[in-house]
Amino acid sequence: MKVYKFGGASIADAGRMAALLPIITEVQQPLLIVLSALGKTTNALETIVNHAYKNEQEAALTLSRALEQQHLTYARALLDDTHYHKAQVALGVLFAEFEKAIASADNTHYDYTYDQIVCMGELFSSRILHCYLLQSGVNCEWTDIRRVILTDDTYRDATVDWNHTKLEAEAIIGRQLRQGKVVVTQGFIGATERGNSVTLGREGSDYTSAILAAMLKLESVTIWKDVDGFRNADPKLFPDTVKLEAISYTEVIEMAFYGAQIIHQKTIKPLHNNNIPLYVKCFLDKALAGSVIQANVDDAHYPPLIVLKDKQVLVQVTTRDFSFITEDNLSKLYSIFHNMKVKINLIQNAAISFIACIDNREDKVNALKNALGKDYKVSVNENVNLLTVRHFTKEVIFDLTKNKEVLLKQETRKTVQVVMK
């Protein structure tokens, strides 16, 4: 039994969703499908969140109803009358939940509000795919993943309760697979013990796939994308990228940690721990070989692996009394970042200063500056980029940083990181 994960690009329009049918039906059932939201839906939902959070309910509801109509139009283009009616009924239940989430937005808790609204995208898309597969004669079942994946209440980056989730995965999805069904569920989302929706971090559908594959002891995970495999850099940002036939778990987890968008950074651990290979294949041409991520790969011939992460903030903290940044101060600083749930993408400290590169999330950055400013002097560089190159060469680093203002550089045996403007 396998997991197939389809991202937003693969279902960007009704034609693309229909084109997934041969990919799905060529696999002998059972099959677990993990689906993302329709292309651009998450961005639209984030705009709705921002209005709802600011108590701009009318604007939020206007946008939400337009988004609902887009999904109905999408379903109408794909489904016959009988299955369109089924989709209408199923989507109507979700639309009611969607509008309730907007109406009850908590303007004191952005992350909570975000998750109650943004989670709806995957629910909408998966309902449509389920109806399409039924129409196509596929023996399938739709499952709300929030019944399965239990998490804590760290909204927007929830931590999975593995013991409880494993029991539910086996009882619900495992049973459906053993019945020979194709199971359609959602990536990216889960629920707290109180039943509130949560998200697992942006691009979290990959992580959902890995969680379920590990818990159900499935054969493999395949992520279907609009690229021909795993490349050494984002082809949208860099020319002349190189396709990798195979890459190790170690290299991918390093790249994901540094911000590569092709694989969610938490995805690799459950796969590695259970020795489950992950394939990256192209939904535009299923005959292409793609790439495989697995345990052992000879890294002697890796090209430079490049990750560029934008929208970063470089925070420098300096002691007011010239005390050294040693164990006591480091412990205190780490605690501040940890308690405020701010992930550090790069860190460096000198005698009396501590530097961290973090994501530019305005709400967290402002709160962090205030917390650090109580005991330290704080300076900030905004709108910087973090470049990471594994298996670097001097020539590559020179080419990627020329004509840039380099604010910080770190180099180890295999990796160079540069913060630049």
For the stretch 212-244, pLDDT in tens is 999 999 999 999 998 899 999 998 899 899 999
Look at residue 259 in the predicted model and tell me its pLDDT.
82
- Final residue of a domain: which of 275, 300, 325? 300
What's the predicted TM-score (pTM) here? 0.84
Of the CA atoms within 13 Å of residue 51, those in its CB half-sphere come to 19
Q: pLDDT class for 295, splitting at 50, 70, 90?
A: confident
Beta bridge partner(s), residue 231: 243
Residues 6 or more apart whose CB falls under 8 angstroms from that of 397 comprise 389, 416, 418
Look at residue 277 in the predicted model and tell me its pLDDT.
96
> Tens of pLDDT along 311-333?
999 999 999 999 999 999 999 99
Beta bridge partner(s), residue 307: 388
Nearest one of 258, 261, 260, 263 to 293, comparing CA atoms: 263
Q: pLDDT class for 261, splitting at 50, 70, 90?
A: confident
- Residue 298, pLDDT > 80, answer no
Cα–Cα distance for residue pair 294/279, rounded to 1 Å: 9
- Whether the CB-CB separation of 12 and 38 falls below 8 Å is answered with yes
Q: Which domain holds residue 311?
A: 305-420
**Tokens at 230, concatenated:** 């795993």
Same domain for 223 and 317? no
Cα–Cα distance for residue pair 327/350, rounded to 1 Å: 12
Q: pLDDT class for 363, splitting at 50, 70, 90?
A: confident
Same domain for 97 and 128? yes
- Final residue of a domain: which of 251, 282, 300? 300
Look at residue 260 in the predicted model and tell me its pLDDT.
81
Same domain for 232 and 353? no
Sign of the dihedral through C-alpha 26, 29, 34, 38: positive
Q: How many domains does one find in the chain?
A: 2
**Tokens at 262, concatenated:** 């092709």
Q: CA torsion angle for 24, 29, 32, 38 (degrees, to 10)?
A: 20
- Final residue of a domain: which of 265, 300, 335? 300
